[in-house]
Amino acid sequence: MIDMHHGHSHFQKRIAQRGLSSDDVEFVLAYGVEIHRAGAVHFLLRGKDIPDNFQRQYSRLIGTTILVAERWDTQITAYRAQRKQAMK
C-alpha cells in the first residue's frame, strides 16, 4: 500500500501545482503502467490504460506520471508528459 501522507509536503505541493486531485492520483496508481527504474516506480497513465467507461472523466490525465519510492512505498512527485501523442 502506498502512503499518501508520508513526506507529503513535497508531493502535495507538486500535485497542487499540476492541478491533480487525490482521486486523480489514485486513478493513475490504479490504472497506470508500472515502470521500475532507479529504485523508484513510475506509474504512467497512457490512453490505452483508461477503461472505456472512464475515458470521458479521466482522459485529461493521459501522460500523468506518479513517482513512488520503491523501498518505502512513498509518493515522491507527480508530473505530466510533454507530448500526449507519445502516451497513446
Q: One digit per residue, pLDDT tens: the chain, 88 residues? A: 455 544 567 788 888 888 999 999 999 999 999 999 888 899 999 999 999 999 999 999 999 999 888 776 666 667 777 655 545 5
What the block records as the C-alpha cell of 6 is 508520508
Q: How many C-beta atoms lie closer than 10 Å to residue 36's C-beta? A: 9
Three-state SS string over 21-44 comes to CHHHHHHHHHHCEEEEECCEEEEE
Domain boundaries, the chain: 8-87
Grid coordinates 490504472 are at which residue? 31
Contact by Cβ (8 Å): 59, 30: no
Q: Read off the pTM.
A: 0.78
